[in-house]
Amino acid sequence: MTYSNKKIADVAAELEKRIKTLDDKSSILRATELRALYAEIPTLPEEKRADFGKEINVLKDYLQKLVDQAQDEQEAAEPIDVTAPFDRNIPKAERPRLLSSKFGSKHPLMSELERVLAIFYRMGFTAVESRQLDDDYHMFETLNFPEGHPARDDYDTFMTSEGLVAPAHTSTMQNRVLSTYKANLEKGEAISVVIPGRVFRNEDLDARHEHTFYQLEGVYVDEGVTVGNLIATLKTFLETYFSQQLEVKTQPYYFPFTEPSFEFAISCPFCKKQGCSVCSQSGWIELLGCGLIHPNVLKMAGIDPEKYTGFAWGMGIDRMVMMKQNIEDVRHFESGKLEFLRQF
């Protein structure tokens, strides 16, 4: 494929290279670079716009063809489904779009969460899902926020008239996971659990804030665990997830349930620290909160903090998916809008 415009040719070369390493190839059609080309059209002199636009469309059609081909190849490798309601010999692009439009498709948050979990499974973690209704004891007390603690205000959420809490974070599960898996420690094995879950906050809603979202918590405990282990684990996960080497940065922070506590940032995977719209021109993206589990939290689960130490983290899944799939408004996820969902 040749392009007369140098800028489009450069983007084409980059995207063709990148598509080979993506496991979700359809995400290439939402690449920042492609969107930037479209955004440039109105800034061009009027007589150049049509040609420029046409050439981007050629590139987009070509990428769509590569995506379809890759999907056909992937399907060819799958076992034959004799109940498929269409002729499987017809290439995917030529089939009626029944499958996505009539029968639905997986929600982008769920397919991304599956990718995230697959990486942690390979790293030896087990997954336990969090609850969507919990109590004050797990939301606060087991996490070292005694009654009246000012940090409780940072987790303003919804309550039922019976006093149950819609959890504001997946950390509500820490005590349960530590209590359940502490038998591992006695056998000389670590506790290594990730906890995906739906969480709720009393928020003023805008493009970056939603009352309902998803988090992934992680808990790791063993003898001699240090901040070094925390950083290495998260870096390994994030480099695998973004398929590239990253720089990481920690900054002191405060959470009642960890000591020390950190905010954890990575070098922007989209612009390699050059500055772009995803990282607000800073080159860095703050992704999660983490730290070494507070001795009181271990004690409350019946684990001896003199003998064992551990780390924990909590990260927002919605934000990761928004960055990766170029989604501009977090409210799309819970909107139930079919025009949004059918794009995935």
Q: How many Å apart are CA 157 and CA 166, to the nearest integer?
A: 6
Residue in the block written with tokens 């599960």 = 173
Among 255, 264, 308, 344, binds ligand DAH (CB under 6 A): 255
Sequence-ordered alpha helix ranges (H) in the chain: 6-19, 32-40, 46-76, 98-101, 108-122, 136-139, 174-186, 227-241, 295-300, 317-325, 332-335, 338-341
Site for ligand DAH in 52-91 (CB under 6 A): none
Which of 37, 303, 315 minimizes the C-alpha distance to 180? Answer: 303
Site for ligand DAH in 213-242 (CB under 6 A): 217
Q: How many Å apart are CA 184 and CA 120, to the nearest integer?
A: 18
291 binds ligand DAH, rule: CB under 6 A: yes
The distance of closest approach from Cβ of residue 184 to ligand DAH in the complex, given in angstroms and rounded to an integer, is: 18
313 binds ligand DAH, rule: CB under 6 A: yes
Sequence-ordered alpha helix ranges (H) in 187-251: 227-241
Site for ligand DAH in 165-184 (CB under 6 A): 169, 171
SS3 assignment, position 311: strand
258 binds ligand DAH, rule: CB under 6 A: yes
Both tokens assigned to 283: 């080159």
Of the pair 108, 289, the CB lying nearest ligand DAH is at 289
268 binds ligand DAH, rule: CB under 6 A: no
Residue in the block written with tokens 């109590």 = 135
Both tokens assigned to 254: 């405060």
**Amino acid letter at 302?**
G
Candidates 36-44, 118-126, 267-275, 311-319; binding stretch for ligand DAH (CB under 6 A): 311-319
Residue with the CB atom nearest ligand DAH in the bound state? 314
Among 108, 167, 256, 289, binds ligand DAH (CB under 6 A): 289
Binding mask 149-168 for ligand DAH (x = CB under 6 A): --------------------
- Residue 209 per-residue DSSP state: B
Candidates 10-18, 68-76, 307-315, 326-334; binding stretch for ligand DAH (CB under 6 A): 307-315
Of the pair 311, 333, the CB lying nearest ligand DAH is at 311
Where on the chain is the footprint of ligand DAH (CB under 6 A)?
A: 169, 171, 217, 255, 258, 289-291, 312-314
